Structures are given as C-alpha cells and as structure tokens.
Amino acid sequence: MAPKNVSGYIYGPETREANTENSEIRDIVGQIQNLLRKFPSLDAVLEDPGFKPVVERFGRELATRLLRRELGRLRQSVLDGADLPEGAVSIAALAAGTVGAGEALLAPSPVTVVNAGGVVVHTNLGRSLLGDRAADRVAEAARGYMTLEYDLETGGRGSRMAHFDRLMDDLFPGYGFLIVNNNAAAILIALKALAGGREVVVSRGELVEIGGSFRVPDIFSASGALLREVGTTNRTRVEDFTAATTENTAAWLKVHTSNFRIVGFTEEPALAGMVTASREKGVPLIVDWGSGDLADLGGLGIRDEMPVQKILEAGADVVTFSGDKLLGGPQAGFAVGKPDLIAKMRKDPLSRVCRLDRLKICALRETLASYVMGTEFEDVPTLKMLALTPQEIKTRTEAVIGEATSRGADATRMSTRPGVSRTGGGSSPTGERPTTLLAVAGRNGDEGRLEAKLRKGSPAVIARVQDGDLLLDLRTVLPDQDKIISRRLAEILKQP
Ligand SMILES: *Cc1c(COP(=O)(O)O)cnc(C)c1O
C-alpha cells in the first residue's frame, strides 16, 4: 500500500532510519510510476472507436474536457495512494466515467418531485405552485419580447411596477406598494429607506430566525438601520417600545413570529396597542407579516393568519409579506402601506437591485388577478390544497390504495387514518389542517427503507416516517399525480 502522502516522507526529518525509509520511498514512487504508465493519452482515448459514442453525444469539446477531468481524477487518486482497480483506465471504463460526469453536469436540477409530505408551503420544495393561468402566462412570456418597461402609446419608457397599479389599487385602495424579489428584500429596503443610520425598535421575542436563513439581526446590519431590542424573549410590552423611543428612533418593527411559538408564559404586544402608541410617538410602524395571505382563511380554520388588508386597516404604516407563501404566487416580496413611505422605498437603489424579472411579473399578475376576480380558491394551488377536506382526501386515498393493489401492492400493509397536514412556510405556527393519511405499516423496521425508495425513485415521491409507519398525505399531491403515487407504491410494495 502506498502512503497517503509521498511528499511527507520525502521531506520528513532526517533520522537514523533514513536509509531504510529512502528505499521504501523509492519502492512507492516506482509503484506509482508503474500505475501512471498504464494511463492512455488523452488523444488516444479520443480517437478510439470505443470512445466515439461519447464524442457524438456530448460533442468533441465537452467530451474532451470531461475526459481530461476524468483522467486527472484517476491520476490524483493514484498519487493519493489508492489502488488502480483492474481495467480502471480501459476505454470502456473511461467512456463510462466520462458519460457519468457528462450526465451529472447536464441533468436537470432541481428535479420535480411529488410532494406527499403534507406540508403545503414547503420552502425546501419550492413553496407555492403556480396555477394554470399563471403557468401558461409564464410559458408564453418566456418566449417573447414584452412591454416590460415600454409604453406602447408613446413608444417611450414605461414602468415595471405600473403593471400592478390597477390590481393593487383594487386589492389595497389608497395604499402605495412596492414589489421586489422576496420578503427579505422588502424588509431590507424598508429598513434602509425609512431608517438607515437611525434606530428601529423591535421586540427580543420577535428576533426570529425563519427557515434557517432569514435572521432579523442580519437584515438590520445589511440595511444600516440600528437594531434597538426591547423586552425579553418571552415578554415584551408596548410600554417597552415607548420607553425605548428617542429622537433617534426612525421606526418600530413588528415581526410576525409565524413559524415558531414560544410556549408558556409569553406576552407579545398586540398590534392595536402598538399602532396607538407608535402614533403618539410619531414613528412609523413597520409590520413584517411573513406569509401574507390576501384571502380570508378563517373559514378554513386557519385563524392565526390575518389577511394583509386587516393589518393595514388596523393602522400599520408599512406591511411586508412574501408572494410565494399563503398568497400562492411566485417568489416575491411585497411592501404595502402609506404612499409617502412607499415612495421613499421605491426611490432607494436597493429597489432596483431587488427588482422583479418579467416572468415573475407575469406569474404574479395572474395570481393577483384571481384574488381580484374572487376565484382564488379555484385558481391558486396553495389555497386549493388548504381547502381540501379530510373526506375529499380520504376518497382519493382509497382510490390510490385500490389502484396500487390492482398493480400488485400488498394490500394488507396499506390503510387510511386521520392525521394532520401542515400549512408550512413560516405561516401559522400551529398551522395544522386535519387530513386523511395513507399509512403503510412498517415490517421489521423497513419503513425508513421504503421512504428512501420512494424518494430515490422516479419520479421522486416525498413522504414521511412516523412511529414505525410510512405516511403519505395526498393534500399536497396534485390530483393528476395520484396515479404516480399508486404506481410508485406498487413498486415498493410488490408481493414476492
Ligand atoms: C418567510 C418570512 C420571511 C422571509 O420571506 P422571504 O420571502 O422568504 O424572503 C420574513 N419574515 C417572516 C415573518 C416570514 O415568515
């Protein structure tokens, strides 16, 4: 066996054993040289008929780069002391290695998956799906020029935000708005434009970290606004805000602590009290309302989420929220509020930095149009999924079990049972919806293996494991994907 690092030996300290060591080193270097002599030259491989299909598939230039890397990788492993298995540098093996590298390079990523995990707004799976209206519009818009910033009347320059003017005026009459790339950007711009260099008061209990990547203190330091924390993690009162407000205070910030809840003895200043007190002090109140639903979800039993309109009516000066959480559109960030404050935000160069691209503008417009028309529960997949009843899901689940059984799955392992789906996406903290689960009973602890098979097969199906069972929740599965679930279940539950 060659050592891990030959140079370590060569340059090691002189010792009495140096002579024996030197001869060992000579042996090792000789072995390595022998192995490297087995490597064919790059050109020899490229000209070999056995390598021709690779060249045809990837083109000569890419095939050459891939092969060079493949040879380099094998050479390095020899230098690192690995053995060279028989045939590792044969034409067939080099062709296979090059094809593998080429496929990995060009494979679509992210890949589409079927979400049977029951978390509707799943940040790691892309949050909200676009409805047909929005998706069709994006497909059309992707292929053509458009009046993105162009006025057909005058032939002169138009405005990107103007495409939303009428819809936003219908949804939020009398308020100004700015739409950027995501909610984090909307908050960043609000803090910078409205409070850069001055203090913003925020409750310690709301200095949340959302989804492992959004930390309020980090946004503050990027904005240049100074974070003035008040209260304790579990207890903050309006008086704490008032007491901390000085002539250097530019705003108060309330963050919707949406994806976690400090359980137990907690006190969070109510919005109404903050509105009154902030007005007395004459400082604007910015509210980061996270998930930003425009529909009234109270009817679905989602009571932690108040529609954005209500937050504005309650007197918040600027409300920010995401476009791809409960709103159900593409990734985007909204700021809606007092026209003079929004105008300041629009003027900030960061608004240009974080501007929307044309595909998002089209997708978002169609999504908002559904709210304007009152068809959001028919058009917006996120809302459609949330609105499904346990009975509707049960009917589909039973059909899936029947279909999987007729395809050869072991019926004795599958059953339906009541369970809960989650809203997800940093929306309501309790955020649970009653559902019907498809449960696959584990046998000899194989539920984890089954889950991995579903996940690694094609198309990938995301499920979850709980208390010895594999659980699938069709709430987050599109109805036309039910047949995929039956097929994949039959695959993993085939009877011998
Ligand atoms: C999700 C969330 C954010 C971040 O929104 P993005 O659109 O992902 O940038 C910020 N604040 C709250 C309260 C959230 O729930």
Model confidence pLDDT, tens digit, residues 441-496: 999 999 999 999 999 999 999 999 999 999 999 999 999 999 999 999 999 999 77
* Domain segments of the chain as ranges: 13-106, 130-376, 385-492
Whether the CB of 442 sits within 6 Å of ligand 1: no
Task: Supply the pLDDT for residue 430.
Answer: 57
Cβ neighbours around 174 below 10 Å, total: 8
Res 120 pLDDT > 90: yes
**pLDDT exceeds 90 at position 12:** no
User: pLDDT-derived band of residue 427, with 50, 70 and 90 as boundaries?
Assistant: very low
Query: What single-letter amino acid sits at 66?
Result: L
Whether pLDDT at 19 is above 70: no
- Is the model's pLDDT at 242 over the cut of 50? yes
Mutate to test the pocket of ligand 1, among 218, 322, 427 (most ligand atoms within 8 A of CB): 322
Residue whose Cα lies nearest atom 6 of ligand 1: it is 183
* Greater model confidence, 16 or 69: 69
What pLDDT score was predicted for residue 358? 97
Calculate how far, in angstroms, residue 322's C-alpha sits from the geometric centre of ligand 1. Answer: 6
Q: Which CATH architecture has domain 130-376?
A: 3-Layer(aba) Sandwich (3.40)
pLDDT tens digits for range 196-224:
999 999 999 888 776 667 788 999 999 99
User: Does residue 423 have its Cβ closer than 6 Å to ligand 1?
Assistant: no
Confidence of residue 262 (pLDDT cuts 50, 70, 90): very low
**Mean pLDDT confidence for 321-349:** 97
pLDDT for position 496 = 73
CA of 321 to the centre of ligand 1 (A): 7
326 lines ligand 1 (CB under 6 A): no
Q: What is the number of the ligand 1 atom nearest to the C-alpha of 186?
A: 9
| pLDDT number for residue 431 | 77
Q: What is the pLDDT of residue 432?
A: 86
Q: What is the distance between the terminal CA atoms of the chain, rounded to a whole angstrom?
A: 45
pLDDT at 2 over 60: no
The pLDDT of residue 50: 97
Q: For all residues of the chain together, what is the average pLDDT? A: 91
Q: What is the pLDDT of residues 45-95, one digit of tens each?
A: 999 999 999 999 999 999 999 999 999 999 999 999 888 888 999 999 999
Q: Which residues pair with 472 in a beta bridge?
A: 438
Q: How far is the CA of 370 from the centre of ligand 1 (A)?
A: 23
385-492 maps to CATH 3.20.20.240: no
Q: Is 322 in the pocket of ligand 1 (CB under 6 A)?
A: yes
Which residue CA neighbors atom 1 of ligand 1 most closely? 290
Percent residues over pLDDT 70 in the chain: 92
Does pLDDT of 356 surpass 80? yes
- What pLDDT, in 10s, does the model give residues 164-176? 999 999 999 999 9
